[in-house]
Amino acid sequence: MLKIKVCLIAAAIAGGVFGAIAHRAPNSCEGQPQYYRVGNSYFPAGDYGVHFTCQAGGGTCTWYKPNPFNPSSWAPCRTGAFSWLINTPGKK
């Protein structure tokens, strides 16, 4: 009986550890501030679906800073062609 209890407790602990690891959110660039590139300069793009969208096409649409301690490092995030969305205030 004691062996069965120990096995069940070990299985519960292992299941808890594996469940916590599996539930951890991926490090997604889409939750980071997005920037668009013009030449060698990067500018804030705003919120996806509100201020800009990425049209179908090749290339990199937006960039983000993967390392906050190295402000000169940039990594691609979304693919496609960058396009501003025209939002008229007061209209839905």
- Per the DSSP assignment, residues forming a β-bridge with 81 are 55
Q: Where are the beta strands (DSSP E) in 18-85?
A: 34-38, 41-46, 52-60, 63-64, 75-76, 79-84
Percentage of residues in the chain with pLDDT exceeding 70? 83
Give per-residue pLDDT as tens, 42-62.
999 998 888 999 999 889 999
Give per-residue pLDDT as tens, 15-29.
777 766 666 556 688
Per the CB < 8 A criterion, the answer to whether 35 and 74 are in contact is: yes
Out of 13-17, 20-24, 39-43, 76-80, which region has the weakest mean confidence (pLDDT)?
20-24
